[in-house]
Amino acid sequence: MDANEATTLTCYRHADMLTSLRCNRCGNPICPKCAVRTPVGFRCPDCVRTQQNRFYTGGKLDYLIAVTVALPLSFIAGFIFTFIVARIGFFSWLIAFLVAPLTGSLIAEAVWRAVGRRRSRYLGTVVMACLIVAVLPFVGLILLSGNFLGLVVPGILLFLGSGAIMARLR
């Protein structure tokens, strides 16, 4: 591009914005507001979205697979935490702290394998929702029993487990 062109380009999204910047993939003129800085240079929002969609290789079926795998596993985890870990006694909370992230990672790993290692934008969120839904009945049971301190162990599972799931299925 020559110096003259630099002043006559207008952003392809904002007709009133003069710019000298072009997307380095498709060549669209982009104003500084639209330009997205990537490791390979400035890109237009459309190219960035295309790139992201290529990154997410999973289909809608993957969400169904994720629920099918994560829900029963989360239910088992909820059962174990509520009826075994919480009843160990003095070390319950400590054990819950150590085992909850592992449990989350395990569920995430099982889902990750079941979907054939394909990435989906909301996979982590869906699996996390499964964990919450599966543990809720146990939380309900504890609330009914009036043992509010008993909420700590399933609570640790929810918080640390969710964190591990989101970290693994980002």
Which positions touch Zn ion (CB under 5 A)? Answer: 11, 13-14, 23, 25-26, 28, 31, 34, 44, 47
Q: How far is the CB of 47 from Zn ion (least distance, A)?
A: 3
Query: Which of 36, 132 has the CB closer to Zn ion?
Result: 36
User: What are the residue ranges of helices labelled H in 9-151?
Assistant: 45-55, 61-83, 92-114, 123-145
Query: Which of 34, 135 has the CB closer to Zn ion?
Result: 34
Nearest-angstrom CA–CA distance, 160 and 167: 11
Supply angle C-alpha 87, 93, 97, rounded to 5.
125
Query: What is residue 53's three-state secondary structure?
Result: helix
Query: Which of 30, 169 has the CB closer to Zn ion?
Result: 30
Q: How far is the CB of 44 from Zn ion (least distance, A)?
A: 3
Query: Residues 6 or more apart from 50 whose CB is under 8 A from it?
Result: none
Q: How far is the CB of 42 from Zn ion (least distance, A)?
A: 9
The answer to whether residues 88 and 95 touch, using CB atoms and an 8 Å cutoff, is yes
Query: Which of 42, 75 has the CB closer to Zn ion?
Result: 42
Q: How far is the CB of 36 from Zn ion (least distance, A)?
A: 9
